[in-house]
Structure 1
């Protein structure tokens, strides 16, 4: 499992409400993305927005970020997104009441 944190600076004319409204309108489209387990749409008062994505594999993530999605970010925000990948070793889900070990510790 891979977590990707994606960030980009918003143009001055896109405020909190405009960002929220845009995210709400596009969120359903992410339900059909191959390998995407979940996405959190994020915004900060510093004028930075993006997403925290959970992916089944890095290959799925890289395929998505190299396609039309990236072109749309550049077109809409005028910049390349900053994307950082992390390997997920374990996950605590308090809503579901579960702890999942994704990559178990190796015996010494």
Structure 2
């Protein structure tokens, strides 16, 4: 994946994981950030313009709160306080 080095480097800015998605409806990604502030620092209007130029469509960024994680790799259920 050509863009992987960009997202690897974002680890220093709070990106924990990126999942690349592709399907019949198009492509995108799911990003897990250390904080919403870290995500918002990356998803700027300049970033939106670059993505629109690169892919021909304006990206849509949706923020979700996550309070419970079922992690089968570690055998843990983590509950975060809101």
TM-superposition CA deviations, 1:57-106 (whole Å, max 9, x none): 111111101065433311111221011110110111112222211226xx
Aligned counterparts, 1:1-108, within 5 A: 24-33=1-10, 34-46=13-25, 48-66=26-44, 69-103=47-81
Q: Output the aligned Cα RMSD.
A: 1.7
- Compare CA radii of gyration and give the structure with the larger one: 1
SS at match of 2:69: strand
Runs of 4+ in 1 over 4 A off after TM superposition: none
* Bigger strand fraction: 1
The count of corresponding residues between Structure 1 and Structure 2 is 80
Query: TM-score, structure 1 length as denominator?
Result: 0.65
* Contact in 2 for aligned 1:74/1:80 (Cα 8 Å): yes
With the length of structure 2 as denominator, give the TM-score of the two structures. 0.82
Task: Tell me: higher relative CO, structure 1 or 2? Use CA pairs within 8 A at least 6 residues apart.
Answer: 1
In structure 2, stretches of 5+ residues that fail to align are none
